[in-house]
Amino acid sequence: MSSANNFNNEIILYHRQQANRTLKIRIEESPIISKIDLKSWSSVEEEIPCDIVGVGAAGNSGKKGNKKSKPVKIRFHPEVLKEARKNGQLSEAAKLTAHKLLDQFFGHEWTMDQPKFEDFRHKIVQKLRNVFTSQTGFMVVRDELALITWPLPLDLLLTSSERKNKSASNEVLSQFFTTVKNALRVWVYPYMETKISNLEKQEERSKNGSTGEKGMVQILDLNFDKNGFKKNIVQLEFVGCPLLRDSMQYVHNIELDQENAFIRIYLRTDPSEENFDSLRFLLHGSVRVIGATKNEIKRNTKWYGAAQSLSKN
């Protein structure tokens, strides 16, 4: 523990794990504390007699809504405090004594150096990235709507230690869903034209030997945006897929379902594309999470067939 706090009135302790939680230690005088011979005292390293009271009531101090917790006090003899305010060396000796005492009783949980906590929303964004990049999403198309769904398994939202502690896991999950709610944003860029022959893994997908055909590529950004905190989570690349309305024309929706544990993106397709060939998409098209390990999003062929038949009727 450092000696950066003002010794005259109080010492502030900061919780090592919980941001914005503090514990104030009062410095007070008490005639029952032994006094020292100020004339013979000369060493800063010499401990100054003091005691500490209120330690047992400090466990809940600093928590919201706890207004009845008793203050923790370190007490020195009145003459020592009076002289310490005039004598720099004595003041430093009293500080060192108080800090040693606080370190003994509170050092495992509290510190006098304010910790630098990483914004917990960074961890939320990383968990979301894991959801999209480490597992396969499922895409279906019906009428003028494309839906992509990812499950939300607990092993991607909780650490192994959190899963073992039910109380901790419930708190983490509650924080996750509360933070993510109304924070996800979908942005679809205008489509670009490209050649089918240049698409990734085209030789594996093509079954009819066609080359040089033109297809459309669109990029989708999935972002976290809440209370001024903005981060990109993932990018999706749509190749040879139903053309989507870009976000300059339409606001696409996203659903976070806590009860059924999934995230689903609702994308409006471009209504001007009346003759979309679902078979051609199944052969040549792809939707992938850029930079992901399992990056191909599975397509439901039956629903695509239904989409094709519905569009022709």
Q: Is residue 4 part of a domain?
A: no
Kindly report the CA angle at 19 between 169 and 123, in degrees rounded to 5? 50
77, 111, 145: which is the final residue of a domain? 111
Whether residues 184 and 298 share a domain: the answer is: yes
Kindly report the CA angle at 141 between 244 and 302, in degrees rounded to 5? 150
Q: Which pLDDT value is given to residue 33?
A: 92
Whether residues 170 and 105 share a domain: the answer is: no
Q: Is residue 5 part of a domain?
A: no
80, 111, 142: which is the final residue of a domain? 111
Q: Show pLDDT as tens, one digit a residue, over the chain (313 residues).
A: 444 344 568 899 998 877 778 999 999 999 999 988 888 887 888 889 999 998 876 555 555 545 556 789 999 999 999 988 888 888 899 999 999 999 999 988 898 888 877 678 888 999 999 888 888 888 887 778 888 999 998 888 888 877 888 877 888 888 899 999 999 999 999 888 665 444 444 444 444 444 334 566 889 999 999 988 999 999 988 877 778 889 998 999 999 998 899 999 999 987 665 545 444 454 445 677 776 555 567 755 444 433 333 333 3
Dihedrals phi, psi of 113, to nearest 5 degrees? -95, 120
Q: Is residue 2 part of a domain?
A: no
**Distance (Å, whole) CA 81 – CA 42:** 16
Instruction: For residue 68, give its domain range.
Output: 10-111
Q: Is residue 3 part of a domain?
A: no
- Measure Cα distances from 4 to 10, 113, 194, 232, 258 in Å: 11, 8, 62, 39, 45
Residue pair 48/99 in contact by the 8 Å Cβ criterion: no
Residue 304: both structure tokens together = 């695509």
Kindly report the CA angle at 282 between 279 and 286, in degrees rounded to 5? 140
Q: Look at strands 110-111 and 145-151 and give their pairing.
A: unpaired
DSSP string, 167-202: HHHHHHHHHHHHHHTTTEEEEEPPPEEEEGGGSTTH
Whether residues 107 and 162 share a domain: the answer is: no
In the block, residue with structure tokens 């894991």 = 130
**Cα torsion through 298, 224, 179, 167, rounded to 10:** 50
60, 92, 111: which is the final residue of a domain? 111
> Which amino acid does the sequence have at 210?
S
Whether residues 54 and 189 share a domain: the answer is: no
Q: pTM of this prediction?
A: 0.56
Q: Is residue 273 part of a domain?
A: yes
- Measure Cα distances from 62 to 54, 70, 97, 98, 305 in Å: 14, 11, 24, 20, 61
Dihedrals phi, psi of 84, to nearest 5 degrees? -65, -30
Residue 143: both structure tokens together = 């009428």
